[in-house]
Chains A and B, each alone.
Chain A
């Protein structure tokens, strides 16, 4: 499986305007493992992609889809690994970016709630079948990440037109 996206939600909303500068700083220093190219600002679009840092192998963004702000890692380039390895790569990259942002600007992310999506409808149509097929990998990766299995994985929408996407939440 390829093209995993992982979103980590912000603890609370914050103004994204300054992040054009923050992301530009990342390009200046090329601090990510991926080649960083440009910043795209969509703050004028409600519930849109927010502020994007465009990379060659992946994009990082402060995404506002569904009106929920979070750091989104979107893997574009193909990886050699297995599904769990590739999902782990996306998760770790998202968490790395959250850590960077927290250090630079003090914003906080909620490490108990993630969204995972596969950005390719041919690989992963939004269906129960895909869910069942990917569930063991999702469980394995997040069990390792949380250190236990007290979390819930659920599809976010039954709409077949949408990409396959799940919510991963720590149980209360």
Chain B
């Protein structure tokens, strides 16, 4: 959509790491191939998902307008995935490993939110940023601008290793065993684009935590989670992790299982790789509802799963990167900008005391605080981002992190600067107190933008925040520390299972109408790394949820026994009684008596389920071979472009690369560890597909295989224009033959 999209590549050339630049060139080519109808929509969908370009509500071209379902007349008939209109606005998820950012990166997020999105950058519950309402054609330029400041969206969505998260106060926390930051970073970089993580049936989420007791890392709800641990081995203190696997929320939440009491730090990467391989090999691929690793572990049992992983570990080819990052564990260490200090005595500005109580965390480094900037529903404007970048430069060495509570923290603010810092935040309208309290509500996007949303989670969260903030000063201390989390459906992106008061969207029929509801989820535990999951007790109309919050919190204040936690209170009173106490709130008034019950929060349209689309949370499960063959096709296409530009040598090499890639795709079907060395690869291909005649064309016989052998034999020679041209034609035929071979074999 932007007239300048094509200019960013040249403009940023040299400012981007070569591998990121190449990756983006590939994406741009794939986008062009799709535009020309030369790349299958299913493959393109997975391709864009793996680059963080995600679908958004109404992208099937339909929207309920309150009276009828409108067909949105987008100009292009092209699709960017099955049932997904090319021109429909989409979301881009920006992966921020462990949530760590610098000031310039915040400024670039501000630029992108303004130029490509809707003037809002949104912080997610997994330390990502999200931009909404982005046109697919703008995504390469957007990603290039991110890449130029060292940020990638690669594998932010799709069936891949998602953002690796970590406690936002890692390194400054009183209770941590050690700073998990370099480990989170090391693992994130190691697994990014790793060949062993490219064939998952579903997404794979990893989290790090510095200690067992606090909640920050939420390890227990992740596919893989690592809790820092120090153990004395042979009289020496050794760093390692308690490693957990198979946790997850979603519609069927699983608590993670202990994989290893103590995994030495040098085993973190190889064991993660071995886990990835076992998951890729044995995980479910067809039924995405059972494809997360938690189902595989439940099916095998943790002991058998562990055995398989350890077997896999034994046969892993050695990789020097497993331990390289351990030599630079202090590369990400942070320094303060200003000397440590104390909060000055005297009069404080209005609101400061409360803000200081809830939003400033005294670091283990005396005289410093980590300050939480509480964002309403995780949203921040470009001007605020720039202002925050200025504050980060003025008071810290840009030590910024996003949090899983959808907030931002700035670490290493000298206590002596806190008042000035607070005033700076006030000027940006970012000084709201109450971080981590009842008014700091987490919500997934819900029906605002998510294709699967049932109810308006953000609408409800916004309503509750406003009501609770208005009476924040009156709230009893007992309930101030409770957490409210809201999801728009059972998928639990808002993490409702681990809230004190969790809600997720459902609907109920009433006469001829469908009425938005939320299930009330109680018994969840945020602490101890999300140590317990709550259960739904009753569905209540959306418009009665504020009353549910009032009633439950009031009952807790009046009925709790001394120092009784909310979870303990719920357990003691019993869910049956609590459910009974909410009974009257489950009633739906007749439409004529109160039509507002028939619309959702923040929406005037009569409620419908008709807007729910096909989810892209996991993406279509595109088989590895389809993906690899699409890669080969793209290489053959790139070879053509290079030929047009007169770069015959590179064109010939790329065409030969496309042939090798076709062979690799087929060989991988039989041999998991397909060799990367071309000579070995061609030999494997010859033995497995040529000599067996599996690759032979019913009419042309072994001709296409011979093209590959010939190209391989000539690979060291320079390409003339004619030879480059011929090689491209041959490469296209080899790619086609590989497709045909795959189809023949799948039919068998």
Seen from chain A, the residues whose Cβ lies within 8 Å of a Cβ on chain B are 2-3, 20-21, 24, 27-28, 30, 35, 37-38, 40-49, 52, 54, 56, 59, 63, 65-66, 76-78, 119-123, 159, 161-163
Contact = CB atoms under 8 A, between A and B. Distances in A.
Given A54-B118, A122-B7, A37 B381 contact: no
B555 interface: no
Interface string B621-650: 000000000000000000000000000000
Contacts of B72: 35, 37
B386 A47 contact: no
Contacts of B379: 42, 44-45, 48
Given A38-B58, A54-B118, A44 B4 contact: no
B118 A49 contact: yes
Contacts of B8: 122
B133 A54 contact: yes
Given A38-B57, A49-B381, A161-B107, A59 B11 contact: no
B429 interface: yes
Interface string B65-91: 111001011110000000000011100
A108 to B, nearest CB: 23
A70 to B, nearest CB: 14
B668 interface: no
B57 A20 contact: no
B465 A44 contact: yes
Contacts of B189: none
A76 to B, nearest CB: 5
B605 interface: yes
A91 to B, nearest CB: 19
A35 B67 CA distance: 18
B93 interface: no
A43 to B, nearest CB: 8
Contacts of B63: 27, 37-38
Nearest to A45: B379
B114 A163 contact: yes
A163 B604 CA distance: 34
Contact of A54 (B89, B107, B377, B459): B89
A35 B118 CA distance: 16
Contacts of B70: 27-28, 30
Given A49-B120, A52-B118, A76-B1, A24 B381 contact: no
10 contacts: A24-B605, A35-B74, A44-B376, A45-B120, A45-B376, A45-B379, A49-B381, A59-B118, A76-B1, A78-B1
Contacts of B512: none
A64 to B, nearest CB: 9
A123 B88 CA distance: 25
Given A3-B2, A38-B57, A24 B604 contact: yes
B383 interface: yes
Nearest to B602: A41
Contact of A24 (B66, B89, B114): B66
Given A120-B4, A122-B8, A48 B603 contact: no
Size range of the chain B interface in the assembly: 35 or more
B3 A123 contact: yes
B65 A120 contact: no
B176 interface: no
A169 B3 CA distance: 29
A171 B4 CA distance: 35
Among B107, B459, B603, B604, the most chain A Cβ lie within 10 Å of the Cβ of B604
A35 B66 CA distance: 17
B485 interface: no
B75 A121 contact: no
A58 to B, nearest CB: 10
Contact of A47 (B11, B133, B429, B465): B429
B65 A2 contact: no
A121 B115 contact: yes
Contacts of B67: 28
A161 B386 contact: yes
B110 to A, nearest CB: 7
B3 A48 contact: no
Contacts of B7: 122
Given A37-B89, A49-B381, A123-B4, A27 B57 contact: no
Contacts of B603: 20
Contacts of A56: 74-75, 87
Task: Give the residue among B2, B379, B605 with the most A Cβ atoms within 10 A.
Answer: B2
Contact of B135 (A24, A30, A76): A76
Contacts of B517: none
B429 A46 contact: yes
Given A42-B119, A47-B429, A49-B119, 11 more contacts: A2-B3, A3-B3, A28-B66, A37-B88, A38-B63, A42-B120, A44-B466, A45-B381, A56-B75, A122-B8, A163-B115
A33 to B, nearest CB: 13
Contacts of A159: 386
Contacts of A66: 383
Contacts of B459: 41
B65 A24 contact: yes
B682 to A, nearest CB: 45
Nearest to A67: B429
A123 B11 CA distance: 12
B664 interface: no
B118 A44 contact: no
A136 B523 CA distance: 66
Contacts of A43: 462
B448 interface: yes
Contacts of B89: 37-38, 54
Given A24-B605, A65-B383, A44 B377 contact: yes
Contacts of B57: 38
